[in-house]
C-alpha cells in the first residue's frame, strides 16, 4: 500500500497522511506485550506509515521506549517523529502512582511543568527514553482548561506561553527540532498560543470529526492563513464512530448523551445507503480539508491497523457527502470535494 505524503506546514517536513499514535503501545486501558507492540509497529511500517507520535504520558515513558527501540535501526531521515513536552517523569520511590488510564506502566509519576526549564528537561529526557538524537515535531501537551480546569490552567498557561513556548522556539531555531505546536483536545488554547508564538502544527484530538466540526473552524482558518497544519487524532470520537451507536459505545471517553447517539445513528444510516462503513467515512473525512496533514491512528494490534488501512480503499461517492449536507449532518463548506 502506498500512503501519500503531505507537507507539515512550512517546516520542510513531509508526513504520511496516516500516522501512528503511540498511546496504545503505552498500555492505554490494557496491557500490550513488547512483542505485540513491535509487531504492530512493524505492520504500520510495512504499510508505508512514516509518521509516528508518542508522549511521556503514554505508559509513563513506556511508549517512547518501545517506539525508540523500533525506530533505532531505521534510517533517521526515512521517518518523522513527534513527541510532547509539559510533563516531567520522576521515579516513584515508594509513592503511590495516580491513575491515568494506563496499565503496567514504568515506575514514574507524572508532574506538570510548562516552564522554560521544564520544557528543556522534558525534551532532553524524551531523547534519552527514545534512544534517538533527534525529535522532529515537539508538541506542548494538554495545556488548557479541558485538562486542568479554569483555576489551575490560569496558573499554568502564563508560564507555558511566556516560558515554555520560548524554550520550544529556541529548540526550533537551534535546529534541535523542526516543528513546534500544541497537542490538545480543545481549540481555544491553540488560538491563544498563536498570539505568543509562530507555531507549525497542532495535534487536535476529537474536535474535527464527522460527528463534530464547528469548534475547529477558527483554528482551520488560522492554520490556512499562517501556513500551519493540523494533525487530527480521535477521528472516531473515542469509539462511537467506529462501532456505531451500540450499547457500551464511548464518546469522548464517556457514555454518549442521547443526542450524540441519535446523531451517530443518522450518520450511520446515510453511510449505509451508500454501502460505506461509518468508520471509513469518519477516517476519510478530515483528510479532505486542506489544513490537515495527517490522521493519527491509535491502534494496539495488527488486526485493528489492517481494518483502518482497508478504510483507505473504500470508494466513497460524492453523493454520500451531499446527503450528509442535505440532512444537516455536515456543513456544506466542509464537505469533501
Alpha carbons 193 and 157: distance in angstroms, whole number:
9
Single out the catalytic residue among 74, 77, 79, 84: 84
- Residue 72 in grid coordinates: 533505532
- Residue-wise pLDDT for 177-188, tens only, equals 999 999 999 999
Would you call 84 a catalytic residue per the annotation? yes
- Residue-wise pLDDT for 284-313, tens only, equals 999 999 999 999 999 989 999 999 999 999
Q: What is the CA radius of gyration of the chain?
A: 19
Determine the 3-state secondary structure of 59 from DSSP.
Answer: coil
pTM of the model: 0.96
Inter-CA distances, 300 with 34, 37, 39, 147, Å: 11, 7, 10, 24
Residues forming a β-bridge with 16: 5
Single out the catalytic residue among 53, 113, 142, 200: 53
Element (H, E) at 231: strand 229-233
Count the neighbouring beta carbons within 10 Å of the beta carbon of residue 125.
Answer: 18
Phi and psi at 292, nearest 5°, equal -95, 125
- Residue-wise pLDDT for 266-287, tens only, equals 999 999 999 999 999 999 999 9
Alpha carbons 176 and 179: distance in angstroms, whole number:
9
Q: What is the 8-class DSSP label of residue 95?
A: P
Alpha carbons 31 and 25: distance in angstroms, whole number:
8
Would you call 53 a catalytic residue per the annotation? yes
Would you call 178 a catalytic residue per the annotation? no
Single out the catalytic residue among 58, 114, 156, 251: 58
- Residue-wise pLDDT for 117-149, tens only, equals 999 999 999 999 999 999 999 999 999 999 999
Non-local CB neighbours of 258 within 8 Å, separated by 6+ positions: none
pLDDT of residue 244: 96
Angle between helices 318-326 and 258-273 (to 10 degrees): 140
Percent of the chain with pLDDT over 90: 95
CA diameter of the chain: 60
Element (H, E) at 242: helix 240-243
* Residue of 205, 211, 206 whose CA lies nearest to 261: 211
- Strands 87-91 and 229-233, by their bridges, are unpaired
Architecture label for domain 16-334? Alpha-Beta Barrel (3.20)
Amino acid at each position: 500500500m502506498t500512503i501519500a505524503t503531505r507537507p507539515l506546514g512550512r517546516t520542510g517536513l513531509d508526513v504520511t497522511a496516516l500516522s501512528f499514535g503511540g498511546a496504545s503501545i503505552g498500555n492505554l486501558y490494557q496491557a500490550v506485550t513488547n512483542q505485540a507492540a513491535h509487531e504492530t509497529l512493524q505492520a504500520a511500517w510495512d504499510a508505508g506509515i512514516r509518521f509516528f507520535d508518542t508522549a511521556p504520558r503514554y505508559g509513563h515513558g513506556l511508549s517512547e521506549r518501545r517506539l525508540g527501540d523500533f525506530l533505532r535501526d531505521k534510517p533517521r531521515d526515512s521517518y518523522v517523529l513527534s513527541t510532547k513536552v509539559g510533563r516531567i517523569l520522576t521515579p516513584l520511590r515508594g509513592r503511590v502512582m495516580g491513575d491515568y488510564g494506563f496499565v503496567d506502566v514504568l515506575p514514574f509519576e507524572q508532574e506538570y511543568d510548562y516552564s522554560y526549564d521544564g520544557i528543556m528537561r522534558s525534551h532532553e529526557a524524551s531523547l534519552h527514553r527514545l534512544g534517538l538524537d533527534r525529535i522532529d515535531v515537539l508538541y506542548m501537551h494538554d495545556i488548557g482548561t479541558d485538562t486542568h480546569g479554569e483555576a489551575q490552567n490560569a496558573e499554568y498557561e502564563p508560564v507555558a506561553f511566556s516560558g515554555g513556548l520560548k524554550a520550544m522556539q529556541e529548540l526550533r531555531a537551534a535546529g534541535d527540532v523542526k516543528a513546534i505546536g500544541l497537542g490538545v483536545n480543545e481549540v481555544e488554547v491553540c488560538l491563544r498560543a498563536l498570539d505568543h508564538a509562530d507555531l507549525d502544527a497542532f495535534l487536535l484530538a476529537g474536535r474535527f470529526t464527522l460527528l463534530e466540526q464547528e469548534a475547529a473552524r477558527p483554528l482551520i482558518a488560522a492554520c490556512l492563513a499562517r501556513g500551519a497544519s493540523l494533525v487530527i487524532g480521535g477521528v472516531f470520537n473515542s469509539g462511537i464512530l467506529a462501532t456505531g451507536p451500540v450499547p457500551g459505545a464511548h464518546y469522548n471517553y464517556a457514555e454518549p448523551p442521547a443526542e450524540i447517539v441519535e446523531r451517530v445513528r443518522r450518520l450511520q444510516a446515510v453511510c449505509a445507503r451508500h454501502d460505506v462503513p461509518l468508520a471509513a467515512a469518519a477516517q476519510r473525512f478530515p483528510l479532505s480539508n486542506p489544513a490537515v496533514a495527517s490522521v493519527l491512528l491509535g491502534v494496539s494490534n495488527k488486526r485493528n491497523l489492517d481494518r483502518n488501512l482497508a478504510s483507505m480503499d473504500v470508494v466513497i461517492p460524492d453523493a454520500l457527502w451531499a446527503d450528509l449536507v442535505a440532512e444537516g449532518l455536515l456543513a456544506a463548506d466542509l464537505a469533501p470535494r
